Amino acid sequence: MKIVHFSDVHLGMENYAVTDAKTGISSRFLDFLKSLDFIVNYALYPKNKINLVLFTGDAYKTRDPSPTYMRAFAERIKKMADKLPVVLLVGNHDLPNTSGKANTLDIFSALAVPGIYVAKKPEIIKISAGDDVLQIAALPWMNKVDLLGDTKDKTIEETNKLITQKLGQEISKLSAKIDPKKPSILAAHYSVTGAYYGSEQGVMIGRDMAIDVKDLKNNKFDYIALGHLHKHQILFKNPLAIYPGSIERIDFGEEKDKKGFIELSIIKENRGRFKTSHKFIETPARKFMTLEISMGDIDDPTKKVISEINKKNIKDAVVKVNIKISQDKLEELEQSKIQKVLSSAHFVAGTNIDITDMLKTETVTFYKEDYSWRDLLSEYLKKENISKSRGKKLIQAAEELVNELEGEI
């Protein structure tokens, strides 16, 4: 049995975009669709012999996506569902803040689209796949109120401790319903204690809804399919627990992260046990590049900058340039020539010039209008000499506020 496991599509993330000349659509929207199409084509390619597709949450950037985003996602899910069963797990970006409102994936349930299973509550979904019946234990994102009820008399720490305990109990209940003679997967859209959150997540210990890693290990599942964290990572191997990560880069915090999805294989061994193995398949995600250029004692600083840029393959990349230069050489730096050599990049996010000499240090920064707020905040915190640990907490808190506001728009 072979399964494609992908997560965190986030259609609508359009930082560093230009308008596509042919379609009039945001180039970054097209980037995300390109990576999603890569997954769809991989799943449907006959030689790959995929039996099922599992999506572990967060189809869109916001909880109220535009019809354009919804149509694009639905077209691709339907294309796969015409050939393969597709399971969609509700993530935090899919779920409205109010319990009575529909989530962004409910349309598939309302229309009863054949081959598509939407998991919006803890449950066991049984699907014929390959030569066996696959059990998918779904643990979608749930509102705190739905999960715990009224917690007004609790502190944040007490509330989140209760959430972790409750999620552990839900996993135990799901595990108890699993038939060990059939292959099984736990699909969950949550943080896990000990996982690497990455710069994109508004996650802070004591604030995010998190599963205790011990609760993941003590169960009957053959594979644990995770979503929510954008950085691809294998948490542990027994049972195999994986975050595939997001399918496309969002900002410079993900510059060095590989983007892609998981091809999972489940093989029945002797004595009725199941063995799992996997491959991480990279999507054609847009490159992000930060160029660090230090002048030193250079006669022609413009020539030096151009030379350093030409050493890198910046074509079609989102590029940020950091230049360190002394005060007396600053006037020799020709911005127009530098911008010209950067023209092959998809988008120049900004040129940051650090002016340094023995007497003082000053920073002059040139930003594009849609420079990511995360990057702007990061630059500000650096200039204010805020410690890395404190800065990380501030960025994470800001991310929580942004996500909360986006859910209300």
pLDDT 10s digits, 187-205: 999 999 877 655 444 433 3
Q: What is the pLDDT of residue 358?
A: 42
Residue 60 sits at φ, ψ, to 5 deg, of: -130, 170
Average pLDDT along the chain:
87
Highest mean pLDDT among 34-43, 113-122, 195-204: 34-43
Regarding whether 155 and 20 lie in a shared domain, the answer is yes
Q: What is the pLDDT of residue 117?
A: 96
Residue 274 has pLDDT above 50, yes or no: yes
Regarding whether 213 and 302 lie in a shared domain, the answer is no
Regarding whether 263 and 388 lie in a shared domain, the answer is no
pLDDT tens for residues 104-115?
A: 999 998 899 999
Pick the more confident residue, 72 or 391.
72
Regarding whether 80 and 21 lie in a shared domain, the answer is yes
Q: How many domains does one find in the chain?
A: 3
In this prediction, residue 101 has a pLDDT band, given cuts at 50, 70 and 90, of confident
Residue 408 has pLDDT above 50, yes or no: no
Regarding whether 191 and 50 lie in a shared domain, the answer is yes
Please give the sequence-ordered ranges of beta strands (E in DSSP) within 52-131, or none if there are none: 52-55, 86-89, 116-119, 123-129
Asked, as a colleague might, if the bond just before 239 is cis with ω within 30 of 0, I would say yes
Q: Out of 250, 266, 282, pick the residue that ends a domain.
A: 282
- Predicted TM-score (pTM) of this structure: 0.83
Provide the domain limits for residue 401: 379-409
Q: Which residue has the tokens 């699993």?
A: 178
pLDDT tens for residues 304-342?
A: 999 999 999 999 999 999 998 888 888 888 889 999 999
Regarding whether 183 and 60 lie in a shared domain, the answer is yes
Regarding whether 206 and 117 lie in a shared domain, the answer is yes
Regarding whether 140 and 26 lie in a shared domain, the answer is yes
Q: In terms of C-beta distances under 8 Å and separation of at least 24 residues, what long-range contacts does 17-20 make, across chains too?
A: 17/347, 17/370, 18/346, 18/347
Regarding whether 302 and 206 lie in a shared domain, the answer is no
Q: Express as a percent the part of the chain with pLDDT over 90.
A: 60
Pick the more confident residue, 354 or 196.
354
**Are 212 and 168 in contact, with CB atoms under 8 Å apart?**
yes
